[in-house]
Structure 1
């Protein structure tokens, strides 16, 4: 199947390999993919594989590939055999199966020789069975720190070294990650931070989606996973029962921990376009993550979205957020976190609203995309020779 495209990247095909679900919590993958598609590229967005146990529990079959926006087709991979995180052999078997599915869908779409955009070190097993014209590696975390054992950490490092060596362009969300990747590859490494959509700045009147929740409302929006500090959430919910709001999907492995906290208001996943409406309904926005090396090296996207609304923000103190200290309250302990939330309820420091928005405006996705587009075009033109 072929579709005529117009724009700067007309004629460019991109396989976006093993990324978060398109309809889940939006990440930089969604934002950059849709902008490249709007510029004429055709994109096959390949979602992360699902484990067999998770698919059985969900009770559904894999969905057929679907065009979600002009130029963007989303596909699911075959079920993932368990053990890929700790076994090179199983990773290679899964990669062989995934590459076959990607090749078949690419052929159906009429893709020629695409660029491949990778996000995870484990994608190297699929990538090595494809024949791309170029490879982009977008590094959003220090993946070493997801490992639960030294053996898994060593395997992750080997995979990342192989992927970095194959990449023609590397993006990182922080200078700290850029330094690390520069030690692994001689290819260009360009820091491009996380950002925010312009719609988050819009303060037009909207219906209140939390009409039944009394003020003050303390709210979090994002994926609830192992990086949440559930003990801190418990303290907040005990102090402000039925006023701490959690908006976003919950990873199955932490569902029981979240459900055990009384007093939380759980909204669940909402479409990305509705997120700003919830943020404007909060009195204080929070980021109650655990403080560890993995989180220190991250670039929390939700904090930038919070800033765009002008609302007061309380977050755990992460190294990556230190530059935002003038507009974000950073707590080093749980006691500090609860105290700062109480202070911002009493005094939201409304005089900082414009400063918060101004900081977010420097991280607009449209502006950040200019750097990505320039690098992609340079890579595309060079590899097309």
Structure 2
């Protein structure tokens, strides 16, 4: 029997690395005996068809792509399938949770620690007695969602906050929101400082001339599409606004951006990201400012600062509080002019800031939180020796 970790992630394991991948990679490097089942968001074939995309289906467990410093086969990914909407198939989440338990057992992970990032993992609390950690990276209760989806998230989070042995959060705002009624542990995001500071060649697909570059997933919950359009129009022929990252925008929004002169480069592998940032004349954060974005700890805050370029951001969490002289926080009305001014200024030298959190240090903090969750297993035991969570039978047929 092999102990390990089951991560129910909000994001897939792919070439666009995010918090979960950096932290899991750090955990694996520090613990050669660790094995991980990384559960990706479910494929949604009907949603793909509605948006004219090739439908994706479950692909079973598969080895993750190679990780520097980690032996092959220690991370297996699992992508379940969401065949029908929840309103039509309310039992779908439970069936997907059942599939996760079976996959973990096939891999020999009989007593893993459960890391819930996506609240769909709430059903695993019924099916297992795995000690649970809830890692809160976004306040989805503050996002714009349908009433039914909002109610589902409220109920799921209330239960996970109550039953998880440990709750970690990535930002001070989330610490205040989720720590009102229970202890939480702050584990912020980070950056591989040395990799971002090491000079690399200019990417061939970065447009010629001055560029203002945004790095990150293009998502309507974060990206202010109208502000991007106004910024590109203000820059005119003097500079190009370039968006680097996978797009979750509607086709109409993408069309508006392209007509305005914005260049959408799409997703780029994490190893290639420093080149785009190093060769930007300015780095930008044209984000919506609301309760949802205020909950975030943007990874780009650390990546932008690590390359030492000028940064212009709307007044969102992290950027508006930065005392880095290269970071300018300005409201949407002044944003286009501030970006235009930034791309015209001479590029500064790029000393590496000394106050940036590193992914290796954050992985150590997450390892400690997971160890606390594992050590809490005894607290699940009832007086009669039942080892299921809260005394429920944890057996699985």
Instruction: Return the TM-score normalized by structure 2.
Output: 0.83
2:38 counterpart SS class:
strand
Q: Once the 2 structures are TM-superposed, how far is the Cα of residue 29 of structure 1 from its aligned partner?
A: 0.8
Asked if the contact 1:236–1:244 (Cα under 8 Å) also holds between the matched residues in 2, the reply is yes
Correspondence for 2:93: 95
Query: Are 2:73 and 1:74 equivalent residues in the alignment?
Result: no
Q: 1:148 to 1:95 in 2, by over 3 A?
A: closer
Distance 2:102 2:269 in 1: 30
Q: 1:319 to 1:223 in 2, by over 3 A?
A: closer
Distance 2:105 2:83 in 1: 22
Aligned counterpart for 1:229 among listed residues 198, 221, 224: 224
Q: Once the 2 structures are TM-superposed, how far is the Cα of residue 174 of structure 1 from its aligned partner?
A: 1.5
Asked if the contact 2:24–2:363 (Cα under 8 Å) also holds between the matched residues in 1, the reply is no
Correspondence for 1:216: 210
Aligned counterpart for 2:357 among listed residues 343, 360, 363: 363
Correspondence for 2:332: 333
Correspondence for 2:167: 170
Equivalent residues in 2 for 1:317-356 (5 A)? 317-327=315-325, 328-334=327-333, 336-348=334-346, 350=348, 353-354=350-351
1:117 counterpart SS class:
strand
Asked if the contact 1:55–1:61 (Cα under 8 Å) also holds between the matched residues in 2, the reply is no
Equivalent residues in 2 for 1:302-321 (5 A)? 302-321=300-319
Correspondence for 1:258: 254
Q: Which structure shows the higher helix fraction?
A: 1
Aligned counterpart for 1:268 among listed residues 260, 263, 266: 266
1:314 counterpart SS class:
strand
Distance 2:322 2:117 in 1: 26
Q: Once the 2 structures are TM-superposed, how far is the Cα of residue 384 of structure 1 from its aligned partner?
A: 7.1
Q: Once the 2 structures are TM-superposed, how far is the Cα of residue 308 of structure 1 from its aligned partner?
A: 0.7
Correspondence for 1:7: none
Of 273-282 and 147-156, the range deviating more from structure 2? 147-156
1:321 counterpart SS class:
coil
Q: 1:132 to 1:371 in 2, by over 3 A?
A: same
Distance 1:77 1:55 in 2: 15
Q: Number of paired residues?
A: 361
Asked if the contact 1:138–1:171 (Cα under 8 Å) also holds between the matched residues in 2, the reply is yes
Name the Cα RMSD after superposition: 2.4
Correspondence for 2:128: 131
Unaligned residue ranges in structure 1 (runs of 5+): 3-10
2:321 counterpart SS class:
helix
Q: Once the 2 structures are TM-superposed, how far is the Cα of residue 207 of structure 1 from its aligned partner?
A: 3.0
Deviations 1:234-266 (A, max 9, x none): 122222457211111111x52321222221222
Equivalent residues in 2 for 1:161-200 (5 A)? 161-184=158-181, 186=182, 188-200=183-195
Q: 1:73 to 1:151 in 2, by over 3 A?
A: closer
2:58 counterpart SS class:
coil
Unaligned residue ranges in structure 2 (runs of 5+): 67-71, 380-397
Q: Once the 2 structures are TM-superposed, how far is the Cα of residue 106 of structure 1 from its aligned partner?
A: 1.1
Q: 1:346 to 1:115 in 2, by over 3 A?
A: same
1:215 counterpart SS class:
coil
Equivalent residues in 2 for 1:15-34 (5 A)? 15-23=6-14, 25-34=16-25
Distance 1:268 1:324 in 2: 28
Correspondence for 1:58: 54
Q: Once the 2 structures are TM-superposed, how far is the Cα of residue 212 of structure 1 from its aligned partner?
A: 6.2
2:160 counterpart SS class:
helix
